[in-house]
Amino acid sequence: MKIQKITEFKTSEWAGGSTTELFIYPPNSDYLDRNFLFRLSSATVETDKSVFSDLSGYKRYIAPLEGRLNISHDEKNFKSLAINELYTFDGAIKTVSTGKCRDFNFMLKDGHKGFANYTNLIPLEDLVLECEEKEIVWLFSYKNKPTIQVSVKDKIVDTLNLTQMSLLVFSPDKENRSSNLIQISPNQSVSLFYGKVIID
């Protein structure tokens, strides 16, 4: 099992704030060229109203990490999202938001299978995820600084100290491509976004 702990990210400015690219796949793809399979990012929204970029061909997941985020597709009916509440929509649909916030984003190319979810874990409570050949599993932590044990097939393979913004990416290694059960065990209460993408 290959485990990447990523804590250094690329941040750029956009019309309404800044966006931090957490992960993009394939590694040589580019967000602006729209040639990626999936992308994880976190953005700040510093204006009262924002118009979302056209992301035709992608399914989008978004959740506010802090602040206030209201989403609308007709500028009349708005959905107010609670902190860490994931909202899913078609990237081709006209979308606007109100409220200033920091958000979390997962973008997945149409025609590919994957999901995103959110959980709160307490000590002695584990998160178990399966990672098979041609799959990538990811785990994002914001404003948590726990120590977590990572076990694969009931064997502890790593102990990691998460920082304020951390991303873990799991993929089968070339030597062992069999299915792996990943068990995440925190030493304190922790809020996590997690998901999986089939990359074939």
Distance CA 101, CA 115 (A): 23
What is the architecture, at CATH level 2, of domain 114-198? Sandwich (2.60)
What H or E segment, with its residue span, contains residue 5? Answer: strand 2-6
The pLDDT value given to residue 72:
98
Percent of the chain with pLDDT over 90: 74
Q: For the segment 31-67, what is each residue's pLDDT rounded down to a tens digit?
A: 999 999 999 999 999 999 999 999 999 999 999 999 9
| This prediction's pTM | 0.93
Q: Are both 2-109 and 114-198 of the same fold?
A: yes
Extended beta strands in 26-179, E state = 38-45, 49-51, 58-67, 69-72, 78-81, 87-90, 96-98, 101-109, 114-121, 127-131, 135-142, 147-152, 155-161, 165-171
The pLDDT value given to residue 167:
95
**2-109 topology per CATH:** Jelly Rolls (2.60.120)
Q: For the segment 23-37, what is each residue's pLDDT rounded down to a tens digit?
A: 999 999 999 999 999
Percent of the chain with pLDDT over 70: 97
What ranges do the domains of the chain cover? 2-109, 114-198
For the segment 153-160, the average pLDDT, to the nearest whole number, is 86
The pLDDT value given to residue 144:
82
Distance CA 20, CA 10 (A): 6
For the segment 97-115, the average pLDDT, to the nearest whole number, is 97
The pLDDT value given to residue 178:
61
Q: Name the pLDDT band for 195 (thresholds 50, 70, 90).
A: very high
The pLDDT value given to residue 200:
77
Distance CA 124, CA 157 (A): 18
